Chain A
């Protein structure tokens, strides 16, 4: 099947596209408009990077992770695991502009400063809305990309462009689980005739993700509660709060989650990865007995690879990150939450056509869910 037809029929038409941008920045055929992936013209190639990289094309996740991670590190619920940490940026100014503890910002600054990476693919969201992929090469630029957006931008398009240019030897990528999966596909399952210089991806930091939201709907919803241009922060506190918090001009408004749920990107309901299992490190909001007021300024970090371990240890050693003890139940809670997302994905996919859809090649991973 032609590449563009394959993605259109197997991903876009099935409401599976996450908008990650993995298919973009490579050719004149794919692009993105306000979070929607669009195909301008048909490509008649039978195989291509777009369909190879797409995290929602049928993928044997089990085979892929065996290629990338030592088998003994893999936990069925949350993927490769070398340790769980609660961390935050030591620098208070980082934390002030961060989503939670500023761990990712601190780590990427450090990685750039130490020369572990020579560019970082981040996401820059002006006032949390209409985010875009941003490639930065200096540690000082990283902070402009702090904070999260609930609109998923096609930032991998910027990564693809950077890789194509072949100007950087070690690019650090930060992204949601769909993006980090795509990055691992780029590295471990490249198009034989064109590896897209994927060897120049030097570090992958995953972001925990529940779901992304519809771009237009999000802008409209935000507009109902605040001036979209003035919004500085958005967050979704633990489930018992059942709310989305919108902070604008120092004032935080709590929006009932019922208003937000209809805006969830349908593709995200079919996503089986909450913790960004394909990454060197995965970072999310902390959950502890201290309660939300404390947790919201901390992160939990899953270390997945040796490289991730080294970076985290370096950050702690250099005093860039602060740590605190992880509660005993921390890992179990994380596993439980992760399994919950996997169950939703399996249910969503089965409702479509009775199969596991893009997860079918590794169906045994999900058979008990």
Chain B
């Protein structure tokens, strides 16, 4: 697919993912600089930009965190560079300060922020509606309804950004990021945007008196948005029943009207300019409307604003949407949900729904991959906690290991806030151990999270000698989002080999007592963990074992793991399916014909830990020559 990103073939129609469409749009806009920290559902964008950066003569970076990414973009804007910063919803919250300050000082070269919201939090801890950030920071925001718009909006946003001298945000949602659609390619610029020397009197400074001119800029933009080509209307000139849709809601609504046969009499106003809203355009379609359904992802942002516009104009309209229960208050929109809401609006009966299957789908919990070192870590942690006289407090953090809060990690932690928060929550609790709190405090972070946002917390914890244990689960990867490089990996987004940062000396330089352990060496690591839990003060334990996906790539020799079913106790007393039920690795399967354990050779990566834990010694490991 990558050739479509750089093909200079205007007019050619290509099938593209939304994320790819953004990349193509950035290339067509002639960007100079791109930075991001990985976050689903938009992780692929910078990955692809990194691969084509040299060819298209721009710079791309997997930054240590989103703040680094956005602030670097702001910096390059001072030299007139066109820069793009890609974040997910949590990343946008992470950069809130830089965003608000930046909105006040404005930009010189175009700066576009692509933010991806994850309705239903498929690959997130929480839902968040990033439109409120645009409103809060008074920044223009656009949202595409299909892949073509996603591509076209990027050059449009850059032009807008440079015209207004302001950052512009493009909001995506999961289905737009990951869905595919036809995109007609535009021309590629012969050279990237022109970088200019920074003049002595060039200024991008956040000062409070810049607020008024900034608001005036936004007022001016409202007029431009009234005629923005990305806003569409279909339906009668003076609709009685109106659907106002943003993002995915537009196609879902059109499909629903088609299925219900109500397209003729129902208006659909599809809004791409989310902030500031084109109030005159909206008021024109609200004027004769009796009922308005708003179809939007995450929160009733448009719905509330429509109500305000109707109120300002004295219209009497019945509004429905996420705010009144016509659509659920939380969770991603689906065509079926929208169909039901549109049926309610139009009074057309729901069409019959063909039954796909009588068989229920198997429910599966989230689980660590086969051979994941985190499984061993949380197995050991649970045992250590159960062994403690005053069972300790475990604080989670964000990464693959967030799954340890569920069955996969034996419900490891009591609290988990946002990325990088674990060390701070633990720091506070650790101080309470001098004030009658009798428990050990343990927290964790991955290697990527360590660099992302643990460091300031670790400085704090070390400086104040909090009584806690930080486990750095070093699997040499940003595994959850797809193996993007981070400062510990020794590679950059553009494929350059660099000196990897070592976590141990970083911690030691901060005054931490550091121990390393291999979670696969279960017996020894259990002792190390128990010993550390007995020691007062701040301890760092680096659990070193590469992510299973990396481990299988680097291993020489084939490993065969198998179950000696004559030895296997199965579900009998003394085992009760310990490997498949408690250890829970996808590689540990169950032979229903013999009621004994089995290894799924497709899933098993040959880490061999289950063989060490099998109470009957029935699991055998043959071969293998791990590097």
**A residues engaging B (CB < 8 A)?**
3, 26-29, 31, 33-34, 36, 38-41, 43-45, 47-49, 164, 191, 193-194, 216
B597 to chain A, nearest CB (A): 13
Residue of B nearest to A216 (CB): B389
Q: List 13 A-B contacts (CB under 8 A).
A: A3-B573, A27-B573, A27-B575, A28-B575, A28-B615, A29-B576, A33-B389, A39-B386, A41-B582, A43-B576, A45-B573, A48-B573, A164-B574
- What residues of B have a CB within 8 angstroms of the CB of A27 in the complex? 573-576, 578, 615
B264 within 8 A of A: no
Partner of A38, one of B387, B574, B582, B615: B387
Q: Which 5 pairs from chain A and chain B are nearest by CB?
A: A48-B573, A27-B574, A33-B387, A41-B582, A43-B576
Q: How far is the CB of B9 from chain A (nearest CB, A)?
A: 59
State A41–B576 Cα separation when bound (angstroms): 11
How many angstroms between the C-alpha atoms of A164 and B581 in the bound complex?
A: 23
Residues in chain B near residue A43, CB distance under 8 A: 576
The CA-CA distance from A194 to B616 in the complex, in Å, is 14
> Which positions 407-441 of chain B face chain A at CB distance < 8 Å?
410
Q: Would B389 and A34 count as touching, CB distance under 8 A? A: yes
How long is the Cα–Cα vector from A47 to B576 in the complex, in angstroms? 11
Question: For the complex, is B206 an interface residue (Cβ under 8 Å from A)?
Answer: no
Contact with A36, one of B382, B389, B410, B575 (Cβ below 8 angstroms): B389
**Docked-complex contact A194 and B572, CB < 8 angstroms:** yes
Instruction: Say whether B571 faces chain A, with CB atoms less than 8 Å apart.
Output: yes
In the assembled complex, which residues on chain B have CB atoms less than 8 Å from the CB atom of A164?
574
List B contacts of A31 (CB < 8 A).
Answer: 387
Q: Which residues of B contact A49 (CB under 8 A)?
A: 573-574
The total number of A-B Cβ pairs within 8 Å is 48
Cα–Cα distance between A36 and B575 once the two chains are bound (Å): 22
Closest to B383 in A: A40
> If A27-B615, A28-B613 touch, does A194 touch B386 (CB 8 Å cutoff)?
no
Identify B574's interface contact among A34, A39, A44, A194, CB under 8 A: A194
Whether B572 and A193, one on each chain, are in contact in the complex, defined by CB atoms closer than 8 angstroms, is yes
Cα–Cα, bound, A41→B387 (Å): 12
Contact of B573 among A33, A38, A40, A194 (CB under 8 A): A194
Nearest-neighbour CB distance to chain A for B589, whole angstroms, equals 18
Chain B residues positioned under 8 Å from A191 (CB to CB)? 573
Q: A193 contacts which of B387, B573, B575, B576 (Cβ < 8 Å)?
A: B573
Contact of A28 among B389, B571, B578 (CB under 8 A): B578
The residue that A26 contacts in the complex, of B387, B574, B582, with Cβ under 8 A, is B574
**In the complex, A191 Cα to B571 Cα: how many Å?**
14
Q: Give Cα A39 to B387, complex, Å.
A: 8
Docked complex: B569-606 residues within 8 A CB-CB of A? 571-576, 578, 581-582
Contact B576 A44 (CB under 8 A): yes
Name the A residues within 8 Å of B383 (CB-CB): 40
B523 to chain A, nearest CB (A): 13
With A and B bound together, what is the CA distance between A48 and B578 in angstroms?
A: 14
Contact across chains for A28 and B582 when beta carbons are under 8 A apart: yes
* Cβ–Cβ contact A40 & B386, under 8 A: yes
A45 to B389, CA, bound (A): 27
In the complex, A45→B577 CA distance in Å?
A: 10
A contact face: mostly helix, strand, loop, or mixed: loop
Q: In whole Å, how far is A47's beta carbon from the nearest beta carbon of chain B?
A: 8
Chain A's nearest CB lies how many Å from the CB of B522?
Answer: 11
Question: What residues of chain A lie closer than 8 Å to B582, measured between beta carbons?
Answer: 28, 41
Closest to B573 in A: A48
Query: B387 contacts A45, CB within 8 Å?
Result: no
Closest A residue by C-beta to B410: A41
In the complex, what residue of chain B is closest to A44 when comparing beta carbons?
Answer: B576
Q: Which residues of A contact B575 (CB under 8 A)?
A: 27-28
Q: Which residues, 254 to 311 on B, are CB-close (under 8 Å) to A?
A: none
CA distance A239 to B582 in the complex (A): 50
Most chain A CB atoms below 10 A, which of B389, B573, B582, B615: B573
Complex: how many Å from CA A77 to CA B572?
39
B579 nearest CB neighbor, chain A only: A28
Known: A38-B387, A47-B573, A193-B572. 19 other contacts (CB 8 A): A27-B574, A27-B575, A27-B578, A28-B575, A28-B582, A28-B613, A31-B387, A33-B387, A38-B386, A39-B386, A40-B383, A40-B386, A43-B576, A44-B581, A45-B571, A49-B574, A193-B573, A194-B573, A216-B389
Q: How far apart sit A216 and B576, CA to CA, in the bound complex (Å)?
A: 33
B382 and A41: CB pair below 8 A? yes
CB distance from A63 to the nearest CB of B (A): 22
CB distance from B331 to the nearest CB of A (A): 31
For A43, the closest partner residue in chain B by CB is B576
CA distance A27 to B575 in the complex (A): 6
CA A29 to CA B615, docked complex, whole Å: 10
In the bound complex, CA of A44 to CA of B577 (Å) = 9
Nearest-neighbour CB distance to chain A for B536, whole angstroms, equals 17
Within the complex, the shortest CB–CB distance from B595 to chain A, in Å, comes to: 12
Nearest CB in chain B to that of A215: its residue: B389
> Which residues of chain B are near A41, meaning CB under 8 Å?
382, 410, 582
> Nearest Cβ distance between residue B406 and chain A, in whole angstroms?
14
C-alpha spacing A261/B417, complex, angstroms = 45
Q: Bound state CA distance, A142 and B573, in angstroms? A: 32
- Cross-chain contact B386 with A26 (CB below 8 angstroms): no
Shortest Cβ distance from A26 into B: residue: B574
Closest-by-CB residue of B relative to A51 is B573
Q: State in angstroms the CA–CA spacing of A350 and B383 once bound together.
A: 34
Residues of B within 8 A of A38 (CB): 386-387
- Nearest B residue to A4 via CB reads B576
A38 to B386 alpha-carbon distance, docked (Å): 6
B204 to chain A, nearest CB (A): 57
User: What separation, in Å, do the CA atoms of A194 and B571 have in the docked complex?
Assistant: 12
Interface centre among B382, B571, B572 (most CB of A within 10 A): B572
Measured CB to CB, the closest approach of chain B to A281, in angstroms, equals 31
B576 x A45 contact (CB < 8 A): yes
Q: How far is the CA of A116 from the CA of B576 in the complex (A)?
A: 36
How far, in whole Å, are A93 and B386 apart by their CA atoms in the complex?
Answer: 43
Complex CA distance for A47 and B582, rounded to whole angstroms: 18
Contact with A along B380-393 (1 / 0, CB 8 A): 00110011010000
B-chain residues with CB within 8 Å of residue A40 when the two chains form the complex: 382-383, 386
CA distance A75 to B615 in the complex (A): 43
A3 to B383, CA, bound (A): 18
Contacts of B572 in A (CB 8 A): 193-194
Q: How many angstroms between the C-alpha atoms of A41 and B577 in the bound complex?
A: 12
- Nearest-CB residue, chain A, relative to B578: A28
Report A-chain residues with C-beta under 8 Å of the C-beta of B382: 40-41
